[in-house]
Structure 1
């Protein structure tokens, strides 16, 4: 067995966990969801689902990683039995599928930070430049830089790589978004945005779509059920708490989202007329971030400086999440007997190669974001199944309420895992598939080669699941049987 790596301190662990959770979605998706779903009324179900989906799954992941001392494949095989190693493999592949294109997002953010900080962005028409940039080979170059930076950090190990990087990235990120939010709320006219953000439209709460959007945002934003926290859980000290760390991670992630909303929504409403502001908030993740945001900063005093801060914060958020994805993939290969150095070399090459299509084609990028983003909901459901099969009561008493726990977990956890999460998963899956069939691609919903179709999800998931189920016995052989060698 390889020498056991550990986080050197609770602070390092929490910052790494928050780095995993706080990503581009906090900055470019959350403000849009708030603006489109009733302002602060959206915050109510969003906060509820933090406790009824995200934090319970974070607790499950931390406990599984800490107990199994293996990545997703080995952990699922240990908790559910050897016949279910394929579930862990699917969880791992979902997250790696996101890693391949998320490196591209990190590269975009880095490029725009460079353009903003050198003053070049202010002289360009944002929409035209975005189309020019994404239609060139530049995203491929920045994708290579992003995945190389993440791989180099992972190569340094847990303490000197992951922990040290997040001790820089996460405090810096919070400082940047706080500065940006202070600037936003002091802009003339920002009160319109603040009213929109903090005066709730309670009528929205009777709309089931608001609740489903809030649940989806919480599930995606916190990274719960992705296998990332499980991977970091492998490096917990034996006496490290699970429950309190999960609560701090979830609440820290939500705090970052709120600051991002404070930075963006008042700015949009201060500078644009109401109709244009609402159009901006409906323009999609990339549309808001890389087209509307540069337009807004052009009209602000010292706009170039604040544009630089914004894109630097986005780069830090994306990089901290990318690091955790690369570590998940690296941990899988390390469980198979590879050294960290050799494992990261494999992950770096594969991630770069499989990220090339997303770097060169927005259509392919959007397809992968759709297929594996929705696939992550399946991953979260698999974690609840793992606990149910192990025994929710036994799991709670043995792994959450052990002697090293700072907080005792009540029976509510068992009800959430056994009943609520399966119901929430079903509701979200039906909702997103319904959206695909009725709104995204009503004529080609069955076509596996369409970008946002139901067919593309089922086809890609089916291929991956069939493959991993087919090689399940080898997955067990490559992981569990090597553990003590």
Structure 2
């Protein structure tokens, strides 16, 4: 991870000195107020932050077992999203500067060598059809393809402009793969811990979880529409999980939770009563409103197919979300009963052994 952060810093500085970088920065930091009236952009922003920080995954339930009693939870909760958003901003500066520098050059080269458009996706198709360079073209093509297009198509364009570019490209993508792998460790541990608590051996539990993750991930690896769909469905699910986490604190007592788990003696930063209002009222109401707004907007956009999970436009519609959530919840409810029963049996066995000793 430190190598990846270092490379992002170096690449950001390099990108800022590319021709056309100023246009990219202007596009990045110019607010399109009309877009703020669309719920999807708010949902996508929240999903992106949830993916980046691990919010909504239930990781805290697992890793709380490994934390020190006097762990400064509040400080960690502030540092993680702050550092994440700073790195994300630097990455955005790097990407937008690179794209607005590389695209005009590629379009100019395409006049004499159309082969340079190969592999550029919708941008290549648009240029072949006579499109001219504009911010609208960038929005509809490059930035509409998501992170996968930006990472694997446009980052190599930046490395082409650098001394020892191939070396840095290998280092960057190796560090990116390693960062993704280490992030998976945390997610695998959540499921593994549940099986271990149920009495299963750790090695066996890890094997089962890893095989399951691999099998479920194969369709997304070989078919891009599936990847887009799964990214969207379970990204929105993180919002719902966050809502459940906030609501679950209310019966326990928001003030009690804050005083016992956040403002304990080992915490250097004390959270005020405003946090109680945020958790009890603001966060749940915002989530419910945003999900409702998104569902209503989906209905208005496609009233005949918005609830059809198998329609031709099902990648992002509400129907595919509800259909997959229903299946997942049914499976998890079954597993939850089995795991609770196993944990109880395992706990009783341990107590019986302790009594004998």
TM range (shorter): 0.7 to 0.9
Partner of 1:188: 19
5 Å matches for 1:69-84? none
Partner of 1:477: 341
Paired residues of 2:229 and 2:315 also in contact (CA < 8 A): yes
Paired residues of 2:198 and 2:342 also in contact (CA < 8 A): yes
Cα offsets for 1:159-201 (capped at 9, x unmatched): xxxxxxxxxxx21121111111111112233122233334x43
Q: Any gaps of 5 or more consecutive residues in structure 2? A: 105-132, 351-357
Partner of 1:102: none
Partner of 1:461: 325
Find the partner of 1:371 among 218, 227, 233: 233
Cα offsets for 1:14-49 (capped at 9, x unmatched): xxxxxxxxxxxxxxxxxxxxxxxxxxxxxxxxxxxx
**CA distance change for structure 1 residues 297 and 304 in 2, over 3 Å: closer, same or farther?**
farther
1:430: Cα distance to partner? 2.5
| Cα distance in structure 2, aligned partners of 1:390 and 1:480 | 23
TM-score normalized by the length of structure 1: 0.58
Partner of 2:151: 289
**CA distance change for structure 1 residues 414 and 188 in 2, over 3 Å: closer, same or farther?**
same
Q: How many residues in Structure 1 have an aligned counterpart in Structure 2?
A: 313
SS in 2 for 1:460: helix
For the pair 1:350 / 2:180, whether they are aligned, the reply is no
Partner of 1:314: 176
1:346: Cα distance to partner? 1.4
For the pair 1:201 / 2:62, whether they are aligned, the reply is no
SS in 1 for 2:66: coil
Partner of 1:395: 257
Partner of 1:139: none
1:408: Cα distance to partner? 1.1
Partner of 2:119: none
Paired residues of 1:190 and 1:270 also in contact (CA < 8 A): yes
Paired residues of 1:187 and 1:270 also in contact (CA < 8 A): yes
5 Å matches for 1:145-160? none
1:205: Cα distance to partner? 8.9
Q: Which has the larger radius of gyration?
A: 2
1:368: Cα distance to partner? 2.1
Partner of 2:77: 246
Partner of 2:161: 300
1:432: Cα distance to partner? 3.8
**CA distance change for structure 1 residues 423 and 471 in 2, over 3 Å: closer, same or farther?**
same
Q: Any gaps of 5 or more consecutive residues in structure 1? A: 1-169
Which gives a bigger RCO, structure 1 or 2 (Cα 8 Å, sep 6+)?
A: 1
Paired residues of 2:46 and 2:239 also in contact (CA < 8 A): no
Paired residues of 2:72 and 2:266 also in contact (CA < 8 A): yes
1:355: Cα distance to partner? 2.0
| Cα distance in structure 1, aligned partners of 2:31 and 2:183 | 33
Paired residues of 1:241 and 1:406 also in contact (CA < 8 A): yes
Find the partner of 2:308 among 423, 442, 447: 447
Paired residues of 2:195 and 2:205 also in contact (CA < 8 A): yes
